[in-house]
């Protein structure tokens, strides 16, 4: 296989997943690009770290009531799944339909929403919006349980249009009110009982149960509504049908998918790709899977323009380094701390700052966040005890009898981290440091010796480059 094929596969896996190790890349490249795209779009068994193993080590991950337990639980899933796109698209919907723990105070209900994104995230956008409107975490987050026939609460109706489907400027204030009316009666089940349970937290061993959806016929406004120019006795599903067939919706969703998977900035040359994605959206009956197939197989996506055209989001950055370093593949004590790292960088799982989600692209970067980002990847990839780093050492040791010049050493490290490409002056800096101790001789290495340590030190610096910050 060629270097070009390997680099293209590395690009696809950074976007459709959380990057890949060299061994994985070799296998995937052999399978062929379009086959891999189909595998990603049609996930099979995830084979992630199973719950019974997790719970044996983390008592707090039985109930998953707490934020840090839930974050750690999701990290295990992202670190070990065989279906990286399933997690990546779930993270996308979590950012777009941003729901925050701060108001829910119940991580289990929140994780149920995440599981729903996993199940519906690559399917029909229309179905996804219906599920979203019935999702208890969303109902609490945007107060649809306070949206009554006699007194509407506009919060969900507004955000459904503004932030979840069409974008501002494509509807009127009147549409917001009509939309809210259509979702009256879409509420929570057993509120009185649940409130009692919440107040009596000590009812062990049963603990809390999750919130559930209920449609209350008597609290639904069955009156006539005029929504986006259409008139009828619309219920929530009718409103979603109307939303789903809007051009504005197709453009909004495809543009957001483009920015998440292809490039932060939508330049002029992105126009035709987004148009093509929109056609797939309509042709397939709003299937996200089809939209992504169009994107991943497009010349644009495969071109140099799209390579490293995105600033890694914090979760992407953390999980990319975790998977490359081969850590968190089995239970580890500090798993919640791994989730917290992404929070320090500005993206806490289950805690988007607002319903708007996160500001992405270069807005991930400020001096505080950059310090956290560099520190995390430097620590993960500079530690020769990590299995993934050991594999990289093995890989270097297998080159040229294990004796490498400073240039070969540096190029080898940059290759194994991506491949990533650094400016000439960055490479010169790394070569200068590598040269201080002469050739790297791994031929007679013993675990943890000076030569292995040198590789760790070089990987730490190579991972600290600007290039590694990009996906």
Partner 1 sequence: MATRKQDPSLVVIQLSGGNDYLNTIVPYNDGEYYDYRPTVNIDQDSVLPIDDNYGFNSNMAPIKELYDQGKVAVINGIGYPNPNRSHFRSMDIWHTAEPNDVATEGWLGRATRDIDPTGENVLTAVNFGRGLPRALGVRGVPVASVGNLETYGLFPDLKDSTLRKYALEAFAKMYGGERGKDPVMDFLGQTGMDALKGADLLRTALDKYSSNVEYAADPIAQSLNDVAKVMFADLGTRIFYTQQGSYDTHSGELTTHAKLIGEVSTGVADFYDDLKEHERENDTVIVMFSEFGRRIKDNGSGTDHGSGGVAFVIGGSVKGGMYGEYPSLKAENQLEGDLQFNNDFRSTYSTVLDKWLHLDAAPIVNGQFEQFDFIANGTNGSNGK
Nearest residue (CB) to partner 1, 158 versus 251? 158
End-to-end Cα spacing for the chain: 23
**Which of 113, 105, 132 lies closest to 197 in space, CA to CA?**
105
At 207, give phi and psi (nearest 5°). 65, -160
C-alpha span between 296 and 177 (Å, rounded): 38
Q: How far is CA 191 from CA 134, 201, 278, in A?
A: 15, 15, 41
**Which of 243, 263, 71 lies closest to 163 in space, CA to CA?**
243
- For residue 98, the minimal CB distance to partner 1 (Å) is 11
What pairs with residue 225 in β-bridges?
A: 232
- For residue 140, the minimal CB distance to partner 1 (Å) is 9
Q: Pull the structure tokens for residue 292.
A: 């992504």
Nearest residue (CB) to partner 1, 335 versus 461? 461
**Which of 386, 400, 380, 399 lies closest to 447 in space, CA to CA?**
386
Nearest residue (CB) to partner 1, 157 versus 388? 157
C-alpha span between 294 and 281 (Å, rounded): 10
C-alpha span between 24 and 66 (Å, rounded): 34
- For residue 372, the minimal CB distance to partner 1 (Å) is 7
Nearest residue (CB) to partner 1, 114 versus 380? 380
Q: Which residues bind partner 1 (CB under 8 A)?
A: 102-103, 143, 145-146, 151, 153-155, 158, 162, 168, 264, 311, 343-346, 353-356, 359, 362-363, 365-372, 374-375, 378-379, 422-426, 429-430, 433, 457, 460-461, 464-466, 469-470
- For residue 353, the minimal CB distance to partner 1 (Å) is 7
Nearest residue (CB) to partner 1, 105 versus 233? 105
- For residue 240, the minimal CB distance to partner 1 (Å) is 21
C-alpha span between 174 and 229 (Å, rounded): 11
- For residue 368, the minimal CB distance to partner 1 (Å) is 3
Q: How far is CA 121 from CA 127, 225, 253, in A?
A: 9, 30, 12
Nearest residue (CB) to partner 1, 256 versus 279? 256
Nearest residue (CB) to partner 1, 28 versus 430? 430
- For residue 103, the minimal CB distance to partner 1 (Å) is 8
């Amino acid at each position: 296989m060629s270097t070009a094929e390997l680099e293209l596969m590395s690009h696809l896996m950074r976007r459709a997943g959380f990057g890949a190790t060299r061994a994985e890349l070799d296998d995937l490249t052999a399978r062929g690009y379009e086959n891999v795209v189909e595998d990603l779009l049609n996930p099979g068994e995830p084979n992630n770290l199973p719950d019974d193993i997790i719970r044996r080590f983390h008592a707090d991950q039985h109930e998953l009531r707490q934020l840090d337990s839930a974050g750690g639980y999701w990290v295990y899933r992202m670190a070990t799944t065989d279906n990286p796109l399933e997690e990546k698209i779930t993270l996308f919907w979590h950012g777009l339909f941003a729901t925050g723990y701060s108001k829910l105070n119940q991580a289990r209900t929140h994780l149920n929403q995440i599981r729903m994104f996993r199940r519906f995230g690559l399917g029909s956008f229309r179905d996804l919006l219906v599920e979203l409107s019935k999702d208890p975490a969303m109902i609490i987050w945007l107060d649809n349980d306070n949206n009554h026939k006699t007194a509407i609460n506009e919060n969900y109706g507004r955000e459904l249009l503004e932030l979840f489907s069409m974008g501002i400027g494509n509807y009127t204030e009147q549409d917001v009110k009509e939309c809210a009316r259509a979702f009256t009666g879409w509420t929570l089940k057993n509120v009185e009982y649940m409130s009692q349970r919440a107040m009596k937290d000590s009812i062990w061993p049963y603990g809390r149960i999750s919130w559930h959806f209920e449609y209350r016929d008597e609290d639904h406004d069955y009156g006539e509504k005029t929504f986006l120019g259409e008139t009828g006795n619309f219920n929530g599903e009718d409103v979603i049908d109307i939303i789903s067939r809007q051009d504005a919706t197709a453009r909004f969703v495809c543009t957001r998918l483009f920015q998440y998977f292809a490039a932060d900035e939508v330049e002029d040359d992105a126009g035709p790709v987004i148009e093509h994605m929109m056609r797939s959206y309509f042709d397939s009956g709003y299937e996200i899977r089809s939209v992504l197939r169009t994107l991943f197989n497009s010349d644009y996506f495969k071109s140099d323009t799209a390579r490293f055209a995105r600033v890694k989001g914090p979760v992407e950055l953390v999980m990319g380094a975790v998977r490359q370093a081969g850590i968190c593949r089995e239970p580890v004590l500090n798993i919640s701390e791994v989730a917290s790292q992404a929070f320090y960088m500005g993206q806490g799982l289950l805690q988007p700052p607002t319903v708007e989600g996160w500001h992405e692209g270069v807005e991930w970067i400020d001096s505080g966040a950059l310090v956290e980002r560099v520190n995390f990847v430097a620590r993960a990839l500079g530690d020769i005890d990590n299995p993934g780093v050991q594999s990289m050492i093995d890989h270097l040791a297998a080159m040229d009898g294990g004796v490498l010049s400073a240039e070969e050493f540096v190029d080898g490290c940059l290759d194994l981290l991506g491949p990533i490409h650094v400016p000439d002056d960055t490479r010169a800096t790394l070569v200068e440091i590598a040269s201080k101790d002469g050739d790297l001789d791994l031929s007679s290495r013993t675990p943890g010796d000076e030569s292995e340590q040198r590789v760790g030190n070089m990987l730490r610096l190579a991972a600290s480059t600007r290039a590694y910050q990009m996906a």
